[in-house]
Amino acid sequence: MGTIYKILGQVQGTAAAAKQNLNLWPDPNFEYYAGNHTSATGTASNGPHFVWWQGDSRNNSHPAQHYQDSGNGVYSQFDTPGRSSNLRFSQHHDYVEPHWRSREELAPFLDASKVYTLSFWHKLQVGNHGGHTIAYSTNNSSSWNTVRNGQSYGNHSGDANGNYIDANTGVQQSQGTWVQHYTTFQGTNSYFRMYVRLYSYHYHNEWQYAHLDNIYLTEGALPKSQLPLKAPDGASGNPNALYTAPFTTRSEGWETTAYASATVRRLTGSWQTAYLVPDTYQSVVSTITISNIADAAATYRVAVQKYGETLTHKHLLAFDQPINGNSVETLTLGLTLGAGDRIIVQSDVDKVQFQVYGSEITP
């Protein structure tokens, strides 16, 4: 057996797409309204996410949308800065059927070749003489999937104990309790929409409320266990509310606002093989150098992948490690590798270069 000392591999990182919105629903925690909307025009029931549906003949001025301040529990209209823990719809007039739909200009497009996962949290507080409906459409309002539906114009809503039954899963929901709705579906080459409806039956000043939060719509059939959980107290309002296992890249949050959810990430380019141990060989990797020839700072990743194993967190040596512009970093390692093992690298720009030095032990 002999030992050959040499440059084991050289590779250039690849550029990444600038950003990707992890959530197809804009502003899932209803936090971006700050600075994005002033006082509603016409009626207080028109907001930045849901608008009054003028097709409803029972319109009047009583219903409204409010955001709850996550710090003190006060509900405010759309022009108040700060994080919101949820969006609340309310009305209290008899024989009224207010109906809000998600804004058409914000409707996510659903590609027919892809599967989507939908999750959202909701809470209902309705009187004995009212009702409610929460529904969504995957074909731009041509048909609706009902999630929550109280008895239409009966003298009570839900069952005899004031509870509600999920129309799709059969799960019971108690009054004033946050519940998650979760489903997966095929895209339709059309648009996703939602609506909320509240109504009263001949009983003036009995308040009806519906709350929404953490509306999560993403590509792929994600397991329910990997989706964000609602805090036990019903609050969100933290920057990592939607930061979950499948999305472990850097998060920049919503642009140009201090009240940002971690729902937008900066991507990293594709993995590149810097060195693959030849068949029957053994290798010792003494040094890996990473150089950034650009003026701007970047980040990189390095992993050592054992032969036959699927890449996972245990293989990572460096993850989103920052590197200044026009600089070089050196990793002195002394790694021992067997046949088929590999060193793979990643960066977010194509100006980051990787070089692997060491020795190969020949048969």
Identify the pLDDT of residue 326.
97
- Taking alpha carbons only, the member of 229, 222, 258 closest to residue 243 is 229
Identify the pLDDT of residue 78.
66
Q: How far apart are CA 302 and CA 3, in angstroms?
A: 25
> Which residues are paired to 335 by β-bridges?
285
Q: What are phi and psi of 104, to 5 degrees?
A: -60, -40
Identify the pLDDT of residue 337.
96
Q: Name the residue type at position 64.
A: A
Q: How far apart are CA 355 and CA 195, in angstroms?
A: 55
> For residue 273, what are the CA distances in angstroms to 1, 14, 299?
26, 12, 17
DSSP string of 229-295, one letter each residue: PPPTTS---STTTT--TT--S-B--STT-SS--S-EE------EEEEEPPTT-EEEEEEEEEEE-SS
Q: How far apart are CA 107 and CA 142, in angstroms?
A: 14
pTM of the prediction?
0.60
10 Å Cβ neighbour count for 274?
22
Q: How far apart are CA 209 and CA 88, in angstroms?
A: 7
DSSP string of 94-112, one letter each residue: TT---EEEE-GGGPPEE-T
Identify the pLDDT of residue 307.
95
DSSP 48: S
Identify the pLDDT of residue 262.
46
CA angle 206/211/213 to nearest 5° reads 175
Measured between its terminal Cα atoms, the distance across the chain in Å is 5
Close Cβ partners of 65 (under 8 Å, ≥ 6 residues apart): 44, 45, 46, 47, 50, 78, 87, 88, 89, 90, 100
Sheet containing 75-76: order of strands: 75-76, 64-69, 84-91, 208-219, 115-125, 179-186
Identify the pLDDT of residue 350.
93
> For residue 288, what are the CA distances in angstroms to 6, 303, 321, 324, 333?
13, 11, 14, 17, 8
- 363 residues of the chain, pLDDT tens digit each: 788 888 999 999 988 766 555 678 877 777 665 444 444 444 546 777 888 775 555 555 567 888 776 556 677 776 555 556 678 888 877 777 778 899 888 888 998 988 888 988 888 877 666 777 899 999 999 999 988 766 433 333 444 444 555 544 555 556 677 788 889 999 999 999 999 988 776 666 778 888 888 788 887 777 777 666 655 433 433 333 333 333 333 333 444 444 344 445 556 788 899 999 999 999 999 999 999 999 999 989 899 999 999 887 788 898 878 999 999 999 999 999 999 999 999 998 899 999 999 999 988
Full set of structural domains in the chain with CATH: 3-16+269-361 (2.60.120), 20-265 (2.60.120.260)
Q: How far apart are CA 194 and CA 196, in angstroms?
A: 7
